[in-house]
Amino acid sequence: MFRRYAYLIMGEVMLALIFIVFIFSCVKVMKGDVQNGNNLVSLETSKDSPYNNDYFVYFEKHVLIDKDLKFCVVGEECDNDKVETTSLSSASGGVIGSEDDILFALTAAHFCFDTEEDLLDTGEDGKTLEYKKLIIVHFLNTATSAYIEKIDPKSDLCLLSFRIQDIETSKIDLKDIELAKKMPDIGENIFTVSSPLSIYGKSFRLHFNGNFGGCDSRYGCMYTIPATYGSSGSLVLNKKGQLISVVSISIIPFQNISAGPHVDDIRKFLLDFDKETGIMLY
């Protein structure tokens, strides 16, 4: 009997040690709130692709952890000689416009929106605890924190803003992206850039293409662009380089079918933002 309890205790200790090692392996030290480089790198884009590499952004959602590896709770101070973070999820997206030195990017709302599984917990007193989060955007060889400007869960659209200090003095010419007046014809070639499974690097961009399949009320607008976890939020462009959709879902396990909102939903989303803020992004 004693031996059996001893094994159980040893097993619990081992599980605790494994959890601690896992947390340490996930933790990324963020120097303050920003890792902002001062040399933006523009990657040359093939003339055969309507998607300019410079518009692509890669997002990570992190939870803040204090020096004792305790999750920081909203409304409470962290014990933070240095605050660290652990990544929860990732998404793709793209810059669609700018205002002065502030850039605006679209991604999927289900990435921006917090679910109970990732940011809520129950405390010892039975009350719900919400953990502090940080969205990090990787753009043109630099990384900084992003702010959620607007979310629409129905169309699965999220607009984020971030500031790059030297974007105005750089030679990179970012124009407001053009929205298509209508969806492509069924079978027309369409394109995107994304970071599936968090595969992202400063010196490469993963371009994907497929064919437009049409829209219906159940799935939304469908296309044969490969997508999986991390592809969510990718801007989908037609052959003229105009925005038609944003990757919202992928059919698992057949990952060559994906879907997203209609361009009219995107137009309404951005028009509402313009009415709320006076900032026109298309």
pLDDT at residue 241, rounded to an integer: 95
pLDDT at residue 176, rounded to an integer: 84
pLDDT at residue 217, rounded to an integer: 87
Tokens of 100: 């002065």
113, 192 contact by CB (below 8 A)? no
pLDDT at residue 122, rounded to an integer: 63
Q: Report the b/e string of 142-176 with b at 16+ CB within 10 A.
A: bbbbbeebbbbeebbbbbbbbebeebeeeeeebee
**Side chain identity at 23, as an amino acid letter?**
I
pLDDT at residue 259, rounded to an integer: 96
Gyration radius (Cα) of the chain, Å: 21
Under the banding of pLDDT at 50, 70 and 90, the label for residue 28 is very low
The span from the CA of 33 to the CA of 232, in Å, is: 24
**First vs last C-alpha separation in the chain:** 72
**Side chain identity at 129, as an amino acid letter?**
L
Q: What is the pTM of this model?
A: 0.81
The span from the CA of 113 to the CA of 105, in Å, is: 16
Under the banding of pLDDT at 50, 70 and 90, the label for residue 33 is very low
CA distance to 40, 46, 95, 232, per residue, from 163 (Å): 13, 27, 12, 22
Instruction: Convert the pLDDT of each residue in 87-118 to its tens digit.
Output: 788 999 999 998 888 999 999 999 998 654 55
pLDDT at residue 113, rounded to an integer: 80
Q: Mean pLDDT throughout 50-72?
A: 88
pLDDT at residue 251, rounded to an integer: 84
Instruction: Convert the pLDDT of each residue in 177-190 to its tens digit.
Output: 899 999 999 999 99
